Amino acid sequence: MGIEKYSKAEQGYGEFNGGAIVENKPIGFPQNGGGGSHPYSNLFYWAKADTVNGSTIGEHPHQAFEILSFVLEGDIEHYDNHNNKWFPLSKGDVQVIKSGSGIYHAEKMNPGASIFQIWFNPDIQVTLKNKAEYSDYKKSVFTVVENDSYSTKIMIGNNSPIELVSEGVEIQEITAKSDFELELNSDRYHSFYVLSGEAKLNGLKIVQDDFIKISDEGKASFTNQSGLKLFYISNPKELTHRTYYESNLSRYQ
């Protein structure tokens, strides 16, 4: 069975400012070791950050990667040295940084905020030559498709307003109404994070904060579900370029 499951306890852990912001990491930075999955395809890093009382992650640099923040709960603010001002984002909004030749930014998480920060790995030999870009997308711009069994918010791919340089990335948020099944393309990885609820996935029990990577299954059947909400990423098994992780694998072994 081509399914890997990582509970929250089995994922990586991080914190900022003495635990004012805490993270569980389905995919942590490879040089840090710890739990969770290694990078695969162009999916390099994935963290869920939460705060009770709010805190700020100070100004720091990024290059080459495409860095996306999805606001799951509450409100956050973003600052970068290209705009020299703070931008607010609320639940359902998405921030995209194409860090290119370099950008400095800072993040403020207000009380009760929760976000995903996910890094995608384009061909960095190309993107390092590009000027950095920053964009916000409000929740109202995303299409929601309904059927009898579930609803799908299309966040990347299928005519979403977000266009990445990273190849073939598709992202959806799926809210179950009843048991349902997804057909899975065998040429792609399929990654799920359980935002809420529980179910059985092809007979395997999954609960809130579980992370699941599927690499060799023709379908994903979600049964006996209760209040299930999923964050779903699909990306290619084969890319037209070597990734940063592949190029530096000897450093992490």
- Position 252 scores a pLDDT of 66
Residue type, 44: F
Q: Which amino acid is at 149?
A: S
* Range 49-68 average pLDDT: 96
Domain 143-236: which CATH number of 2.60.120.10, 2.60.120.260, 3.10.450.50, 1.10.3720.10? 2.60.120.10
- Which tens digits make up the pLDDT trace of 81-94? 888 889 999 999 99
pLDDT of residue 32: 73
Q: Which two tokens stand for residue 130?
A: 């590009």
DSSP string, 218-240: SEEEEEEEEEEEEEEEEEESS-S
Q: What percent of the chain has pLDDT over 90?
A: 90
Q: Where are the alpha helices (DSSP H) in the chain?
A: 124-127, 244-247
So what's the pLDDT on residue 253? 57
Give per-residue pLDDT as tens, 80-137.
Answer: 888 888 999 999 999 999 999 999 999 999 999 999 999 999 999 999 999 999 999 9
pLDDT, averaged across the chain = 95
Give strand pairing partners of 115.
Answer: 49, 71
What does the pLDDT average to over 9-33?
Answer: 93
Collapsing DSSP states into helix, strand and coil, what is residue 173?
strand
* Mean pLDDT across 40-47: 97
Predicted pLDDT of residue 70:
98
Query: How does pLDDT run across 163-182, given as a tens digit for each residue?
Result: 999 999 999 999 999 999 99
**Interval 62-78: pLDDT, tens:** 999 999 999 999 999 99
Which of 97, 90, 119 lies closest to 29, judged by CA? 119
All CATH 2.60.120.10 domain ranges in the chain, comma separated: 2-141, 143-236
Domain 2-141 has CATH 2.60.120.10: yes
Q: Which two tokens stand for residue 229?
A: 């909400």
d(CA 209, CA 204): 15
